[in-house]
Amino acid sequence: MGKGAVTSGDVARLANVSQSAVSRTFTPGASVSQSTRDRVMKAAEELGYRPNALARAMISGQSKLIAMMFAYLENQFYPVLLERMSRELQAKGYHPLLFMTESGNQDDVVKQLLDYQVQGLVLASATLSSDLAVRCGDLGIPVVLLNRDIDDPVASSVTSDNFAGGKLVAEHFVKNGRRRVAYIAGAEDSSTNRDREAGLVVGLAAHGLALAGRFCANYRHDEARDAAARLMNGPERPDAIFVANDYMAFAVIDVIRSEFGLRVPEDVAVAGYDDVPEASWDAYQLTTVRQSTEDMTAHAVALLSDQIDGAFVRPQKVLLPATLIVRRSA
């Protein structure tokens, strides 16, 4: 590739050993005598040699490449997830190949990641097609869904207990005397959204309450603003709003304050989900449900590497605890 392009053959010549000896020296656990190893290392150092990872991948069947698919990074939860996943994969000797994709080009993307012989696939984003996960799973590539789930057992998933989280929010609202609780949904077809909403509804029902309003904002900031305005202009103005994630909750708080001149939480309480870094900022002080990104990524990496190492490890569904973080907004 580069001009240098030092190969194991070059090193072998300089060190006066066979090319195999060079290869063994760079293969952990291979049997090489100390003296051979020393000669090889000296020559390698001198020439600036490093094994070509592509050649190694081809012959060994271990590309050490993991595909990570995201739909968008504007929701602050995803960069946090992405950063953590990348660091942990690197620490385990894997390398993340990043794919940004939307519903349109997912077919192309599957082909590309297969071309690169990735050893695993991480799918993060509530809005990515589950079809994709199933296809890769069927091809024998370990798949982990982050922050979402599908019914198919071929893919592993790591989510927080979204149902429990939604319920926690309901109880918190009720305990604080809120009676007209509305919900702003993410995307209708996302498992995450479905479970959070179900938890909220069940939690309210336990106190004889029903949703006082509901709009779907598709996990988008601008649509969340619209939804909030509609809710506030509706016949029965809510005294509390649970928003499917923090990113949209910020938009809702902005609208309540700026467009309606009302106070949060005095006039309307707002709660989100995720506990992104911005949730603790003074401007919002958002009450929210925390899902630990540490635990999420740790489990995801463990699931992947277990499946990669042991051929017969089955996909698993991991459910992490959801914790209510009470701040000023509710």
* Positions that interact with DNA (CB under 7 A): 5, 7-9, 17-21, 23-24, 26-27, 30-33, 35-36, 49-52, 55-56, 58-60
| Structure-token pair, residue 276 | 């992104």
286 contacts 272 by C-beta, under 8 angstroms: yes
Q: Is 131 near its own copies (CB under 8 A)?
A: no
Q: Which does 141 bind (CB under 5 to 8 A by kind): its own copies, DNA, none?
A: its own copies
Angle at 281 between CA 164 and CA 159, to 5 degrees: 25
Nearest to DNA of 30, 205 (CB atom): 30
| Structure-token pair, residue 205 | 């029902």
318 contacts 291 by C-beta, under 8 angstroms: no
181 contacts 173 by C-beta, under 8 angstroms: yes
DSSP symbols for 77-124: HHHHHHHHHHHHHHHTT-EEEEEE--STTHHHHHHHHHHTT-SEEEEE
148 contacts 132 by C-beta, under 8 angstroms: no
Count Cβ neighbours within 10 Å for each residue of 31-70 and write b for 16 or more, e otherwise: ebeeebbebbbebbeebebebeeeebbeeeeebbbbbbbb
d(CA 243, CA 251): 10
Q: Which does 253 bind (CB under 5 to 8 A by kind): DNA, its own copies, none?
A: its own copies
| Structure-token pair, residue 241 | 């709003």
Helix H or strand E encompassing 270: strand 269-274
Q: Is 302 near its own copies (CB under 8 A)?
A: no
196 contacts 226 by C-beta, under 8 angstroms: no
Helix H or strand E encompassing 146: strand 143-146
Nearest to its own copies of 42, 95 (CB atom): 95
Q: Which does 32 bind (CB under 5 to 8 A by kind): DNA, its own copies, none?
A: DNA
> Which span sits near its own copies by CB under 8 A: 79-87, 190-198, 287-295, 312-320?
79-87
Q: Which does 8 bind (CB under 5 to 8 A by kind): DNA, its own copies, none?
A: DNA
Nearest to DNA of 9, 153 (CB atom): 9
Nearest to DNA of 50, 263 (CB atom): 50
Among 283, 314, 321, 326, binds its own copies (CB under 8 A): 283
Among 30, 100, 205, 206, binds its own copies (CB under 8 A): 100
Q: How far is the CB of 118 from its own copies (least distance, A)?
A: 9
Q: Which does 96 bind (CB under 5 to 8 A by kind): its own copies, DNA, none?
A: its own copies
Among 16, 18, 38, 98, binds its own copies (CB under 8 A): 98
Residues that bind its own copies (CB under 8 A): 1-4, 50-55, 57-58, 61, 63, 68, 70, 72-74, 76, 78-80, 82-83, 86-87, 90, 95-100, 111-112, 114-117, 119, 139-141, 221, 250-251, 253-255, 257-258, 277-278, 281-284
